[in-house]
Each structure stands twice: as C-alpha cells, then as structure tokens.
Amino acid sequence: MKVTSLHLTPVVFLQKLSVSSDGSTKKQKVFTQSFINLADEKTAPKAKEGLDIAIAHYLIAKQRPFYEAEDFLFSRILSAARLVNSTYKPPGRNEIGGALLDATYLSYYQDELCKLLKDANVFGLAIYGDGATIKTVPQINILAASPNNPGCVLDVVDCSNHMSVGGKKDATYISNAMLPLMTSIDPNKRLFNVIAFDGASNVQKAGEIMAQHFPRVTVIHGAEHVVSIIFEKIVKLTPFKQYSQFCKLVCHVFSVLLLMSFSDLTLLLS
C-alpha cells in the first residue's frame, strides 16, 4: 500500500502593532498555529530546509557537537515525531526526571540483562562488587560479567540507613545484598560459577557465605584492586601530575576549537 508522506508545516499568524490616535501602543498578539498538510513538490523542499535550519540552530545555540545530528538517538526522535499530530507537546522537565527516567532505566536494565544472559548456559556468569563511599553516601556496587557483557551493573545499594543505626558493611550484610540478585537471575543455581572480590576480609567472607548458597561458584581474589592502589600512588608523583595537567590543557584547547566557527578560527590564525 502506497502511503503519502506528511510534513509538518508551521504557519505563524502575526497581528501587527496597532497604534491608537492618542499614541498608545496595544499589546502585540502572536497566534501560532501548526497543522499537517500533504506535502507537494513545492512545499517539501522548503519544509526540509526549514527543518535543517532548526536542527542546526539548536545544536549551535546549545553548543552541542555537530555530529549529534547524525546520532542514532536523534534520528529516532525524528522518526517518532512523524507519527504524532500537531497537538503533541514535549514532556516537561518533571516528567522527564520522573516516570520517563524510570522507564528509560528499566529499558536499559533489561537490555543489559539480555546481553548478560546470552550464552550464559555455555560460559557461565561471574559476579563481583565492592564497597564505596561517594561523598558522604556509603554504597555497595554489585556487577555481573559474561563474555557478551563484562560490566553489567546489577545494583548500587545505598547503605545509609543501615549504617546510621550502627551497622557495618560486614560479610552478612554484603551477602544479603547480593544473594537476592543472584537468585533472581539464576534461580536454578546453574549459571554463576565465579565470585570475585578484593582482598578485604569482609568481602572474602561474604563470598564464602554466598558459595554455600551457590555450590558451583569459586571465590577468587581480584588483583585489579591492588593494581589500582599501586597506580593511585604512582600518579601522585610530581611528573605524573604535571603530565595530567598538560593533557587536561590540551583537551580543553581542542574542545574550544571544535566549538568555534570557521571564521573565528581564521581570525585566530591570522
């Protein structure tokens, strides 16, 4: 079935300023009406040009990278916009930060789980995590790994309430936070075969507790934490600090140059 393409053509009706005999100026009223009409050979090029200008204006005015016009997510917005009528209004900031943010999170979470479980019956799954304090918020990061998704974030547990009443991130608390996630992903206890933690005694004991519930797993000592501590001490040396500052300066200069227009660059180089 042949479908006729539709283009949204905005038409703006302006009522000109009218001046009364006594010189007083009436308020200018602007009526904006948008309607959808069938695009013919004359209006289609103009509509396309207007849309191109609107996209370019948005990217330039908001100082966004120009390649975002070719981004897949931006193209999906344009495709979805063709399916709504002229009465559509974009969601407000509260709606985006509420229900839409939750829906986006769930969509990404389910997609990550699908990648994680792909071929899991062949290669198995690994779970790992560590405690962290972001500013003043104590947390536990829980991640899982498989050949198709080596860094799947399962949960970030907020430990504020537990620690505010005198609790600690001990082995029992950590295992109780991770075991429900493992059970929901692998109820038959056939997929998880590795548990990785650093050398801290609390997480190593938590791994031993979890191994009692999942007999197939092996608790290993992840060396990446020790390596990160070594590099943390190395980068604090003066030569590495100076090199880091130089890299930041180079990135800052090139980011400014990318935002400058060609005429500005010509004036700068002349």
Q: What is the residue-level pLDDT of the chain in tens, covering all 270 positions?
A: 333 333 333 333 223 333 333 444 343 333 333 434 444 445 677 888 889 999 999 999 999 999 999 999 999 999 999 999 989 999 999 999 999 999 999 999 999 999 999 999 999 999 998 888 888 899 999 999 999 999 999 999 999 999 889 888 999 999 999 999 999 999 999 999 999 988 788 888 999 999 999 989 999 887 777 788 888 888 888 888 888 889 888 888 877 766 665 556 566 566
Q: Tell me the chain's radius of gyration from C-alpha atoms.
A: 29
Task: Please give the Cα distance from 3 to 10 (Å, whole number).
Answer: 22
Task: Please give the Cα distance from 125 to 119 (Å, whole number).
Answer: 10
For residue 99, the model assigns a pLDDT of 93
For residue 1, the model assigns a pLDDT of 39
Q: Amino acid letter at 139?
A: Q
Task: Please give the Cα distance from 135 to 148 (Å, whole number).
Answer: 32
CA distances from 157 to 130, 154, 209 (A): 11, 10, 19
Task: Please give the Cα distance from 157 to 155 (Å, whole number).
Answer: 6
For residue 6, the model assigns a pLDDT of 37
Interhelix angle 171-185/201-213, nearest 10 degrees = 40
Comparing C-alpha atoms, which of 6, 78, 68, 59 is closest to residue 35? 6
Comparing C-alpha atoms, which of 57, 46, 59 is closest to residue 9? 46
Written as one string, the DSSP assignment of 192-207 is EEEEEE-S-HHHHHHH
CA distances from 210 to 117, 207, 221, 235 (A): 20, 5, 15, 36
Whether the model pTM is above 0.75: no
For residue 12, the model assigns a pLDDT of 32
Are 171 and 205 contacting, i.e. CB atoms less than 8 angstroms apart? yes
Local structure of 174: helix, strand or coil: helix
Task: Please give the Cα distance from 52 to 60 (Å, whole number).
Answer: 12
Task: Please give the Cα distance from 124 to 219 (Å, whole number).
Answer: 14
Q: Amino acid letter at 37?
A: N
For residue 5, the model assigns a pLDDT of 37
For residue 112, the model assigns a pLDDT of 94
Are 138 and 159 contacting, i.e. CB atoms less than 8 angstroms apart? yes
For residue 264, the model assigns a pLDDT of 60
Contacts of 31 (CB under 8 A, 6+ apart): 12, 13, 14, 15
